Every structure is written in C-alpha cells, then in structure tokens.
C-alpha cells in the first residue's frame, strides 16, 4: 500500500485503456471457440501424439495469455505516465513523530489562481489543474474529522472557501472542483494575511501549517512583504515544478488616438505587443473591426521586447464601436492573446465659444471663431459650435464639450473647472483681457502695437498642421493690437512668438486638462487675423489637436474596478437601475452609479473577467468598457526557488520548509519509460516462447 | 484422342513409355511375352542341354552332339511369357481425405447470378491412388501384358479379371470412376479373396494407406501371393496433411472410418506427431522389407507420374 501511495499518475484518464486487456482474453476465448471439425484419416496416430503435450500446451497457452495481458497492462500504465514520489516534504501534511493521532493539525492552503495559472504546459494541460490537484492532495493527507483546514484563493481579492476553518475535508476537496482560475493578478500579501487570520481562529495547541500552492510566477511574488502568520506556523511551498514555457506573447494596453474621434477622421488604433521568451518571434497582429473586417500586421520581437503596433482607421458611423486585437498564433497563455477596444466616434465634436461679443455680428471675435471652426455652417463641419455669453456659462453648459474657446473679456469660473476635469481650453486675449490667473500660462503685460508673428518656431505639436505656405501667410499679417507677456509660468510651454521674441502663444496643464493661451485676438478691431484663410487653418489645427487631447481612458484590468462612462450626458442616474453585463453575458453585481468627468458612469467594483462589460438600461446601451488581463500576468517567468525562499524566509516565528514540493505529475521519478520497456520485453518474451515452442 | 478415363493422362505418361513395368522375378504366362519365365520354350536364346529321356520329342535331339558323342541330348532354349499385373486398391473412407475444407464465409447476396464455381481439383488419396493405378494399367497393357483390378472395401468389393486390351483399360477406368470410398478396407480379407484370381506368377500392386491395418494380418494375406512366386509392391498412399499436420490450430478431429472425435491443438502436437508418423512408416517399411516386398510411401503432394518415374528408375537400377 505504501508503494501505491507513492505512485502517481500524470494522465490517469489513460487507465481507461485497461479495457484493452479484453483483447488478448477475447482472442484466447475465441481461439477456443473457433474450433474446426476435420474428418481425418489417422486419428489414432494423432491421439497417440496428443497424449503427452496436451497438459503442457494448456499451461503454455495460459502462460502466453498472462504475458500478453501483462504487456497490455504495462503499456496502458506507461501511457498513464506513472511517477514515483518517494515522500512528501517533511513537516507538511504528515504528522510529526511523537504526536498522537489525537493532535489536531490546522492547515491553510493558499491556492494561487492568478491569470498565469491558466498557462498550458507542454502536454497541453492547464497549470491550474495541477495546482488544484496539489491542493486536493494536501487536504487528502489530513485526518477527516480530526484536523481542520481552509483554502484561501489567492487572486486580486483573496477569500477563503467556506470563509473559515472546517473539519469537513471531503466537502472542502469537493468544493475545489468547482473553482476555476481567474484573470486576476494574485495578491499574496493579502492571501497570506487572510491565512494568518484563519490560523489564529484555530484551536489552541494545534499544529499550524500554511501550504502555498503556486505556479511561482515572479511578478506575482515581487513586493510580497509581511506574511502576517502567527508564531509557530510552518510554511511550505508547492508547485508544478515546471520551468517557464518557451514563449508567451501578449497584447495589452489597447488605445485609440484620438479617444473620441470624429466620423471620417483618421484614428489610430494601437496595442502593445510584448514577447516573453527565450528566442525571437514573429507574430501576426490582427485588428478585427465591428463588421468583421480584419487588418493584419506582422511584427518581429526579440526576447523581452515590447512594441507598439498601430492601425489607422476612419470610422464611418458615430457611436461606440468595438475592435478586437488578436495574435495570429497561440502560445502558452491564451487569455492575453486578445484585447478589446471600445472607440466612441462622434459625428460633430461640440465646441463652445465663450464671450467675444455677438457671434452674429461680423468683426467680433466670436464671429470669426465660429466661422473658422464651422466654415460650412452645417453638417459638413467637423465641429458643432455653440456660442455662449460669458455670464451664461456653467458646468452643465460645458459638459461634453471637446473644446472651449474663450474670447474674453473675462474667464468664467466654470471654464476653469472644466479644464481641471480634463477639458481643453483655448483663451484669446481680447481688448481688455484678464492679465493673469490660474487658468493662464502667463501674466500679460503691456499692450503691443503692429506686431507680426515670427515665421520661425512653429515646431510645437499643436501647430503641426501648418505647412510652409500657411505659416508665411500668417506671419505676414500685422496685428494692430496684441499684448506683451511679463512672465511665463513655470511648466508652461511657449508655442509661438512675435517677431522680437515676445511670446504669442503658450500652453500649460491645469488639473487633468490643458490650456492654450494666445496674446492676440481674432476680433477685427485688433487686426485682420480673423479675415484671412490662414486663421481657419490655425483654428482647425488647434481644435483637432486640443480635442484629440481628451485623455484616452486608462485601461481597466481584471480584478480591479472598471468605470463605464455613459455616452449620454443627460443620463438620469437616479433612475438608472441598469444592469452591467460581464463579457460572458451574465449580470454583474457590485456596480456603483455616479458621475465621472461630468458624465454618468457605472463603476464595476471588481471586474473578474477580461473582455467587454456593457452597461444597459432597457434596450439601450449606455456605454461599455474593455477590461484586460493585468499585463504583469503575461510574463510567465517563474521565480527561482531561492528567490521564493528569500521572500518567505523565517520571520515572525514562522518556519519555512525549504524546497518546493513535488507534483505527482511532474516532480517524481518518471516510471513510464520502464513501464514501456517492460511491456516491450514481455511482448518479446511472448514471441520468443511462441517461436521456441512451435519449432 | 479421348482418354479412356478421367484418371488417365497419356500425355503425362509419354516420358515413361520407354520404361518397362516388369517383375524382378520370373513370371508365368499363357502366351509368349517379354518377361523371363521358368518355362522352357523355343526361342533363339540357348539355355542348356539335358539327357534324352523316352518320350521327349525326337525333333529336339541335338544330332550333331549325338554324332560326336553317340549319346542323345536335347537342346533347351529360354522361354519368355506375358505377365499379369494384379492391382488391389484400398477404397475405404480414409482414402477419401482431400485436406481440410475451406472455411465457409457468409457473403452478401448479389443481384447478378453467380457463375458456377470453378471445379475443385480432386485431391483425395483415392483419386491419387486411382491415377497411379490407371497409369500402371496403361503402361502394362501398352507393353502387351495383362492387368487385373481389385477394390478393397469391406473385403474384396470389386474384381476385374486380368486382360490386356484397351477396352479392358476403359472398363477398369470406368470402374474406378464409379467407386466411392466408404467404410473400412479390411485389406487382409480382400487379399485373401483376390489370391485365387492370381494363379500364375505375376505382380501384385497394393495401393493403400494401410490405416488401422494389422501388419501381421496383412503380411499373412500377402504370403499367399509370395508363396506362389508373385512379386508384391505396396504403394502406401498418404495425404500431405498426414505427413505434416496442417496449420489449423485448435480442431476437432473426426476419424473417417470409426467416427471417433478428438479435440486438440495441432500446433502443439505437430512435433510429436511427426515422430509418430515416422515411426509408423518405419515399422511398415521393416515389415515389408523383411519379406522382400517393395514398399513406397506416396504423398498426394507428389504428382503420380513423378512417383511412377522414380519408382521405375529405381527398379531399373536394381535389376
């Protein structure tokens, strides 16, 4: 029995092949039944000849049957891949010498179920299956009814199966069968802390053990500190014992630039491809559009290299559109080979012009700004321009605007709030400008007369749309009235200067937004700037650049929160008892509704699965968000045993059982070669005996 | 020309025409022939002188010798007579063995009518014996000798007198074709019954598998022929499967004559059987050899012309 206990099978399902034993037995029986009747002339002689060998031949036949059955049994055993696991690591599971059977052992198994445990081994089975089997084996070593155990699932938010220590070990083992790996990154600090809490709740005087069953992924263990285990706890480690897989390539951090592109405007859809492996690889990255159209791009990656792969698309329809990046070839971890990206296209981006006089009166700053931003005055324009008087501006009016242009004379407080929340603001200095303030990148000084813009220095990204001819045209204009700058704030960038060196345009960040200020005005009373075509180019370029600066929502990772911003700014949050659906189509619990950046939002407190979460109200889709596998999970490199030993070294009275435990399927001495050799030997013996006996 | 019997193939025997199927002993016959005879005759071959005794024909006195010696001597010459060959065939059930029957397989019926199956090659021991007997009869009649036939089936079943005509060969062939092997041979009884039909010295050819026969009884029966001065030849005809057991594995053997059954695995006892059959044949060889009887083991695997040719060559070399 001890021998059988030390014998493990890697693929026990192959034992079903034992049914093949029926073949030699059936052949033996059929041979007996399939006798022919033969009318023979010399039966007397045959009878005399058969007198001796009958008993011997019967024995031989049984011997041959035995050899054949043994050969088949050994072959089946070889396919089940037996391993010899001599003994468990000391101190774990097994009872210490001298302890009576009545001594209680309390064991907490910390089971790693991070995304990396979904990786496939060389045999094509998930590492998770092995880890789960190891955990079950640890529980199987305990005495049912006498010992206590708990299983802590180590993911982003560790929790204990049944929430407490339990003596019902069969039920605990059964519960493990229904648990699957997650897309999370494991928080081992929290998991070990929870294990410590459970151990403290155990009976006094009991022997305490913590068994960590993990794939040993390095990124999961980096930063683990403070085990939080009670004194006298024995800590040990179990793992599959595999080296890192040959290669894993991951897609992550999908983004769109601009984040909210206009219809027909080129948008850059990009994803980062990272390669973790020992050899260079060549991968095909596919971009699959909403209608299934696919673009592909090949990329060659060196070991450890990360590369951005971009596709340029023009979105034909407004509204949210779902794209998917996919790798052309599978690898060890399939869950990071696909990334979704939700891009919300708008037909005409809203732009608010604040102040600047009556927009219907020719010559006013707002008149020229409106014309420059929407020259066609209709649906063909890329921007939908709304003019507001300075005193009519509030937070609600600016909500959802891609850009706010302030033409003076003052700057409403709501504009500042809009900028700090992430909006883009363009401020022109009018006839009586605000000279300084937190919104402006500078402090204006004295008034300048008849100045021209410098033809050089148009290198700022915001002015990248200008070609040589447009620059010359604008630089040739004489501005009758402009303002000098006393001081540029630290952190601000000067984008353009007047001839003579005084700053003409500058930009700085405020809050999460950005402000570009101009020391001139398009109003007719200050010059002819607003009348020339170059001003239209200037405004279109600035608007495109500033509107594109709307921050791309930071990617959400599985195991963390995911915020879904409503596409409908006026969403009735109070009545929005909507449902958020997970990527598998199941309703998600733990959703908080609120406002985010001026828009209604639904926050999924913990997005368990990577994929697209959709927020619906009735039949209307309020919005959606893509959740990715944590990029750190893609690096499947396992930490060296010494590294783990260093992390879990003895502290706080905790004894660490050095060395990683053995998985019956991987760690033991492989016996299948011997089994196969035995099967072949028996077959050879059977053939040999048959040949000798028949000769 | 149509052969007189299906068992006879003159073309196959053409190479044997120059050989004489003759007895090694002197034979007696009614007519002159080509075989040595103990009788004195009037041939050109001088043999001896003997003194005249009253009553001898005066024409036979050698007058030249009388003139020189004044004594009367008779001149004697060799006499060659014709020969009668007596064929005795075993027609028992054991001679009907033609090897294991092919396993019948179930076939799906076809729409088109099946053609008639190809004729099976008659390969029983009896067929082989009949071919051999017909060939001997053909050679004997062709050399102006006579041939008689007897069939041993529960004793002497059928007997044809010794004649040397081709119609007799037809009758002989027809008789063999009509005969179906059955029952036991009872060879000694058949020999005893056949003996009165062979009064003159001649040749007795026995073709049998000698299955379940008592050697002493057989020998006692043959003694009647030997005492009369017959030469006896025994062709012990066996099927190839009797010499080397067929590769059939486990079988139920049914004795063709007694119906006794035996369940066994032929693979297991092939070696032992080979020893047994060899001892069995050696025993018959010794029994016949002790009486100066020619004994030949004939396998159905060997074509009968080849058997006959080898035997005649061997006889010719021993003359």
- Say which range, A55-69, A154-168, A633-647, B207-221, has the weakest mean pLDDT: A633-647
Strand partners, A319: A345
Query: Strand order of the sheet with strand A82-84?
Result: A7-9, A82-84, A669-670
Would you state the pLDDT for residue A597?
57
Would you state the pLDDT for residue A298?
92
Would you state the pLDDT for residue A90?
39
Q: Which residue has the higher pLDDT, A164 or A241?
A: A164
Residues 89-118 of B with CB under 8 A from A: 94-95, 97, 100, 103
In contact, A541 and A426? CB cutoff 8 Å: no
Which chain B residue has the Cα nearest residue A60? B268
pLDDT for B30-87, tens place per residue?
Answer: 565 555 556 555 555 666 788 888 888 888 888 888 888 888 888 776 666 678 899 9
Note whether A28 contacts B: Cβ–Cβ < 8 A. Answer: no
Helix, strand, coil fractions of chain A, as percent rounded to 5: 30, 35, 40
d(CA B108, CA B92) in angstroms, rounded, equals 38
Q: What percent of chain A has pLDDT over 90?
A: 10
The H helix count followed by the E strand count for chain A is: 15, 33
> Which chain A residues are closer than 8 Å to B97 by Cβ?
39-41
Distances B23 to A100, A116, A221, B37, B79 between C-alpha atoms, Å: 107, 103, 111, 11, 15
Asked whether the CA dihedral A187, A190, A193, A195 is positive or negative, the reply is: negative
Which chain B residue has the Cα nearest residue A29? B250
Q: Judge whether residue B121 has pLDDT over 50.
A: no
Would you state the pLDDT for residue A243?
58
Alpha-carbon gap: B91 to the closest alpha carbon of chain A (Å)? 13
DSSP character at residue A161: G
d(CA B76, CA B68) in angstroms, rounded, equals 19
pLDDT for A494-532, tens place per residue?
Answer: 988 888 889 999 999 888 888 999 998 888 888 888 888
Tokens 């700004």 correspond to what residue?
Answer: A369
**pTM, 2 dp:** 0.49
- A43, A55, A59: best mutation site toward chain B, by most B Cβ within 10 Å? A43
DSSP character at residue A190: H
Q: Judge whether residue B2 has pLDDT over 80.
A: no
pLDDT for B276-313, tens place per residue?
Answer: 899 999 999 998 998 889 899 999 999 888 888 888 88
Contact A36 B209 (CB under 8 A): no
Strand partners, B206: B88, B234
Note whether A46 contacts B: Cβ–Cβ < 8 A. Answer: yes
pLDDT-derived band at A658 (thresholds 50, 70, 90) equals very low
Note whether B251 contacts A: Cβ–Cβ < 8 A. Answer: yes
d(CA A333, CA A248) in angstroms, rounded, equals 6
**Average pLDDT score over residue span A191-214:** 85
In contact, A149 and A172? CB cutoff 8 Å: yes
Helix, strand, coil fractions of chain B, as percent rounded to 5: 40, 25, 35
DSSP character at residue B316: H
Q: Judge whether residue A192 has pLDDT over 60.
A: yes
B237 φ/ψ angles, rounded to the nearest 5 degrees:
-90, 120
Nearest in space to A654 (alpha carbons), one of A210, A202, A222: A210
> Which chain A residues are closer than 8 Å to B258 by Cβ?
43
How buried is residue A263: exposed, middle or buried, by Cβ count under 10 Å (0-12/13-18/19+)?
middle
Alpha-carbon gap: B199 to the closest alpha carbon of chain A (Å)? 34
Q: Which of B258, B263, B276 sits opposite A45 (nearest CB)?
A: B276
A246's tokens: 């040959």
Q: Are strands B73-81 and A591-596 parallel, antiparallel or unpaired?
A: unpaired
Strand blocks (E) in A243-381: 247-257, 266-277, 281-288, 294-301, 306-314, 319-327, 338-345, 349-354
**Average pLDDT score over residue span A608-621:** 83
Alpha-carbon gap: A686 to the closest alpha carbon of chain B (Å)? 16
Contact A694 B267 (CB under 8 A): yes
Note whether B267 contacts A: Cβ–Cβ < 8 A. Answer: yes
Q: What percent of chain B has pLDDT over 70?
A: 81
d(CA B277, CA A40) in angstroms, rounded, equals 14
> Which chain B residues are closer than 8 Å to A39 by Cβ?
97, 254-256
A146 φ/ψ angles, rounded to the nearest 5 degrees:
-100, -40
Q: Is omega for the bond preceding A211 within 30 degrees of 0, making it cis?
A: no
Residues sharing a CB contact under 8 Å with residue A21, sequence separation 6 or more, in sequence order: A69, A72, A73, A76
Residues sharing a CB contact under 8 Å with residue A109, sequence separation 6 or more, in sequence order: A135, A138, A139, A149, A150, A151, A152, A210, A211, A212, A213
Would you state the pLDDT for residue A95?
46
The mean pLDDT of chain A is: 81
pLDDT for A91-112, tens place per residue?
Answer: 334 444 444 444 688 889 989 9
Structure-derived torsion over alpha carbons of residues B173, B175, B176, B179, reported in degrees to the nearest 10: 160
How buried is residue B44: exposed, middle or buried, by Cβ count under 10 Å (0-12/13-18/19+)?
exposed
Tokens 């305990």 correspond to what residue?
Answer: A142
> Which chain A residues are closer than 8 Å to B268 by Cβ?
50, 53-54, 56-57, 60, 693
Nearest in space to A10 (alpha carbons), one of A95, A122, A93, A102: A122
Strand partners, B237: B298
Would you state the pLDDT for residue B23?
65
d(CA A335, CA A640) in angstroms, rounded, equals 24
Nearest in space to A181 (alpha carbons), one of A155, A161, A159, A200: A155
Note whether A38 contacts B: Cβ–Cβ < 8 A. Answer: yes
d(CA A673, CA A78) in angstroms, rounded, equals 7
Would you state the pLDDT for residue A87?
47
Note whether A59 contacts B: Cβ–Cβ < 8 A. Answer: no
DSSP character at residue A346: B
Would you state the pLDDT for residue B258?
83
Alpha-carbon gap: B150 to the closest alpha carbon of chain A (Å)? 22
Distances B233 to A59, B203, B217 between C-alpha atoms, Å: 46, 8, 17
Contact B125 A43 (CB under 8 A): no
pLDDT for B148-205, tens place per residue?
Answer: 999 999 999 889 998 888 899 999 999 999 999 988 889 999 999 998 888 777 889 9
Tokens 């396919």 correspond to what residue?
Answer: A79
The CB density around residue A98, as the number of other CB atoms within 10 Å, is 6
Would you state the pLDDT for residue B233?
92
Which chain B residue has the Cα nearest residue A46? B273
Would you state the pLDDT for residue A665?
39
User: Which stretches of B9-143 are DSSP H helices?
Assistant: 10-13, 63-69, 125-142
Strand partners, B231: B203
DSSP character at residue B257: T
**How open is the CA angle B70-B71-B74, to the nearest 5 degrees?**
135
A690 φ/ψ angles, rounded to the nearest 5 degrees:
-60, -45
Would you state the pLDDT for residue A404?
92
pLDDT for A382-416, tens place per residue?
Answer: 888 999 988 878 888 887 788 899 987 778 888 88
Contact B253 A60 (CB under 8 A): no
In contact, A152 and A109? CB cutoff 8 Å: yes
Nearest in space to A548 (alpha carbons), one of A429, A421, A423: A423
Would you state the pLDDT for residue A47?
85
The DSSP element (H or E) to which A509 belongs, if any, is strand A503-510
Q: Judge whether residue A470 has pLDDT over 80.
A: no
pLDDT for A29-67, tens place per residue?
Answer: 776 665 678 888 878 888 888 776 667 777 888 888 899
In contact, A243 and A535? CB cutoff 8 Å: no
Note whether A33 contacts B: Cβ–Cβ < 8 A. Answer: no
In contact, A523 and A430? CB cutoff 8 Å: yes
d(CA B313, CA B85) in angstroms, rounded, equals 19
**Average pLDDT score over residue span A365-392:** 86
> Which chain B residues are closer than 8 Å to A62 by Cβ?
none
d(CA A631, CA A273) in angstroms, rounded, equals 10
A548's tokens: 């594109």
Would you state the pLDDT for residue A1?
45
A142's tokens: 């305990």
Would you state the pLDDT for residue A244?
53
Would you state the pLDDT for residue A313?
87
Would you state the pLDDT for residue A4?
56
Which chain B residue has the Cα nearest residue A38? B253
Q: Judge whether residue A648 has pLDDT over 80.
A: no
In contact, B29 and B233? CB cutoff 8 Å: no
Which chain A residue has the Cα nearest residue B209? A41
Which chain B residue has the Cα nearest residue A30? B250
Tokens 């004793």 correspond to what residue?
Answer: B155
Would you state the pLDDT for residue A577?
58
Would you state the pLDDT for residue A651?
56
Q: Judge whether residue B249 has pLDDT over 60.
A: yes
**Average pLDDT score over residue span B81-94:** 87
The CB density around residue A235, as the number of other CB atoms within 10 Å, is 25
pLDDT-derived band at B317 (thresholds 50, 70, 90) equals low
d(CA A219, CA A333) in angstroms, rounded, equals 15
A183's tokens: 């897309």
d(CA A431, CA A407) in angstroms, rounded, equals 10
The H helix count followed by the E strand count for chain B is: 9, 10
Note whether B250 contacts A: Cβ–Cβ < 8 A. Answer: yes
Nearest in space to A255 (alpha carbons), one of A550, A634, A565, A649: A550
d(CA A661, CA A667) in angstroms, rounded, equals 8
The CB density around residue A508, as the number of other CB atoms within 10 Å, is 18
Note whether B269 contacts A: Cβ–Cβ < 8 A. Answer: yes
B55's tokens: 């009553």
Q: Which of B254, B265, B276 sits opposite A57 (nearest CB)?
A: B265
Tokens 């792969």 correspond to what residue?
Answer: A309
**Average pLDDT score over residue span A460-474:** 76
**Average pLDDT score over residue span A677-681:** 91
Can you say how many angstroms the Cα of residue A173 is from the centroid of all Cα atoms in its chain? Answer: 29
pLDDT for A228-260, tens place per residue?
Answer: 777 778 878 887 765 555 578 899 888 887 777
């Amino acid at each position: 029995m001890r021998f059988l206990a030390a014998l493990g099978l890697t693929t026990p399902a192959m034992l079903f092949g034992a049914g093949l034993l029926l073949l030699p037995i059936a052949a033996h029986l059929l041979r007996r039944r399939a006798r022919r009747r033969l009318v023979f002339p010399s039966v007397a002689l045959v009878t005399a000849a058969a007198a001796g060998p009958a008993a011997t031949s019967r024995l031989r036949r049984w011997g041959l049957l035995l050899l054949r059955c043994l050969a088949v049994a050994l072959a089946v055993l070889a396919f089940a891949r037996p391993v010899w696991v001599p003994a468990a690591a000391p101190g774990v599971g097994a009872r210490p010498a001298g302890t009576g059977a009545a001594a209680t052992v309390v064991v907490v198994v910390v089971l790693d179920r991070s995304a990396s445990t979904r990786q496939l081994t060389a045999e094509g089975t998930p590492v998770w299956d092995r880890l789960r089997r190891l955990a079950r084996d640890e529980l199987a070593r305990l005495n049912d009814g006498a010992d206590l155990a708990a299983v802590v699932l180590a993911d982003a938010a560790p929790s204990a199966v049944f929430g407490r220590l339990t003596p019902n070990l069969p039920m605990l083992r059964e519960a493990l069968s229904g648990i699957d790996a997650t897309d999370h990154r494991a928080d081992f600090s929290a998991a070990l802390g929870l294990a410590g809490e459970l151990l403290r709740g155990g009976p006094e005087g009991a022997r305490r053990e913590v068994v960590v069953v993990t794939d040993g992924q390095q990124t999961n263990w980096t930063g683990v500190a403070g085990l939080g285990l009670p004194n006298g706890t024995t800590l040990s480690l179990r793992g599959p014992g595999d080296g890192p897989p040959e290669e894993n390539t991951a897609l992550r951090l999908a983004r769109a630039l601009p984040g909210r592109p206009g219809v027909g405007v080129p948008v850059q859809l990009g994803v980062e491809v990272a390669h973790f492996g020992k050899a260079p690889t060549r991968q095909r990255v596919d971009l699959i559009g909403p209608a299934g159209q696919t673009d592909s791009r090949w990329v060659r990656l060196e070991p450890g290299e990360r590369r951005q792969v971009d596709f340029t698309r023009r979105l034909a329809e407004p509204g949210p559109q779902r794209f998917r990046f996919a790798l052309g070839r599978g690898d060890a971890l399939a869950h990071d080979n696909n990334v979704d990206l939700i891009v919300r296209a708008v037909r005409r981006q809203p732009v608010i012009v604040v102040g600047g006089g009556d927009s219907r009166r020719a010559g006013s700053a707002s008149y020229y700004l409106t014309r420059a931003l929407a020259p066609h005055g209709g649906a063909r324009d890329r921007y939908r321009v709304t003019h507001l008087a300075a005193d009519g501006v509030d937070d609600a009016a600016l909500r959802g605007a891609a850009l706010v242009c302030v033409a003076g004379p003052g700057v409403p407080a709501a504009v500042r709030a809009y900028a700090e929340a992430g909006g883009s603001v363009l401020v022109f200095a009018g006839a009586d400008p605000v000279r300084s303030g937190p919104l402006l990148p500078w402090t204006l000084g004295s008034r300048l007369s008849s100045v021209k813009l410098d033809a050089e220095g148009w290198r700022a990204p915001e002015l990248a749309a200008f070609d040589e001819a447009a620059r010359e045209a604008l630089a040739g204009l004489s501005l009758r009235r402009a303002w000098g700058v006393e001081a540029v704030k630290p952190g601000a960038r000067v984008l353009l200067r007047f001839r003579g060196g005084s700053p003409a345009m500058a930009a700085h960040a405020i809050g999460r937004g950005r402000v570009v200020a101009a020391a001139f005005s398009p109003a007719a009373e200050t010059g002819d700037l607003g009348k020339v075509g170059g001003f239209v180019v200037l405004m279109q370029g600035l608007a495109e650049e500033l509107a594109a600066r709307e921050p791309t929502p930071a990617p959400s990772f599985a195991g963390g929160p995911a915020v879904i911003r409503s596409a409908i700014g006026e969403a009735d949050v109070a009545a929005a008892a909507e449902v958020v659906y997970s990527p598998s189509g199941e309703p998600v619990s733990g959703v908080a509704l609120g406002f985010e950046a001026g828009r209604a939002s639904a926050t999924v407190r913990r997005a368990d699965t990577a994929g697209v979460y959709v927020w619906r109200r009735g039949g209307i889709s309020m919005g959606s968000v893509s959740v990715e596998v944590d990029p750190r999970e893609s690096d499947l490199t396992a930490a060296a045993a010494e590294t783990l030993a260093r992390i879990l070294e003895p502290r706080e009275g905790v004894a660490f059982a050095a060395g990683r435990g053995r998985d019956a399927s991987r760690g033991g001495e492989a016996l299948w070669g011997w089994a196969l050799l035995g099967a072949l030997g028996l077959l050879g013996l059977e053939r040999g005996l048959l040949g000798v006996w028949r000769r | 020309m149509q052969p007189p019997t299906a068992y006879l193939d003159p073309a196959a025997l053409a190479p044997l025409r120059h050989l004489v199927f003759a007895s090694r002993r002197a034979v007696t016959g009614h007519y002159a022939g080509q075989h040595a005879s103990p009788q004195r005759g009037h041939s050109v071959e001088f043999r001896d002188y003997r003194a005249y005794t009253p009553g001898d024909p005066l024409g036979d006195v050698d007058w030249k010798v009388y003139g020189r010696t004044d004594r009367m001597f008779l001149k004697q010459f060799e006499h060659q007579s014709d020969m009668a060959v007596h064929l005795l065939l075993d027609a028992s059930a054991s001679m009907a063995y033609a090897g294991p029957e092919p396993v019948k397989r179930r076939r799906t019926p076809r729409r088109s009518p099946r053609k008639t199956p190809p004729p099976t090659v008659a390969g029983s021991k009896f067929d082989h014996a009949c071919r051999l007997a017909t060939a001997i009869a053909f050679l004997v009649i062709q050399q102006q000798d006579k041939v008689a036939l007897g069939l041993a089936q529960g004793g002497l079943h059928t007997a044809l007198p010794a004649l040397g005509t081709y119609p007799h060969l037809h009758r002989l062939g027809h008789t063999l074709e009509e005969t179906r092997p059955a029952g036991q041979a009872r060879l000694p009884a058949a020999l005893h019954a056949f003996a009165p039909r062979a009064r003159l010295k001649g040749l007795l050819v026995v073709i049998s598998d000698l299955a379940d026969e008592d050697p002493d009884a057989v020998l006692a029966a043959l003694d009647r022929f030997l005492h009369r001065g017959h030469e006896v030849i025994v062709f012990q005809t066996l099927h190839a499967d009797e010499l080397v057991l067929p590769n059939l594995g486990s079988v139920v053997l049914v004795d063709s004559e007694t119906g006794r059954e035996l369940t066994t695995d032929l693979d297991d006892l092939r070696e032992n059987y080979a020893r047994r059959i060899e001892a069995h044949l050696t025993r018959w060889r010794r029994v016949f050899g002790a009486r100066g009887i020619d004994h030949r083991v004939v396998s159905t695997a060997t074509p009968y012309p080849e058997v006959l040719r080898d035997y005649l060559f061997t006889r010719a070399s021993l003359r």
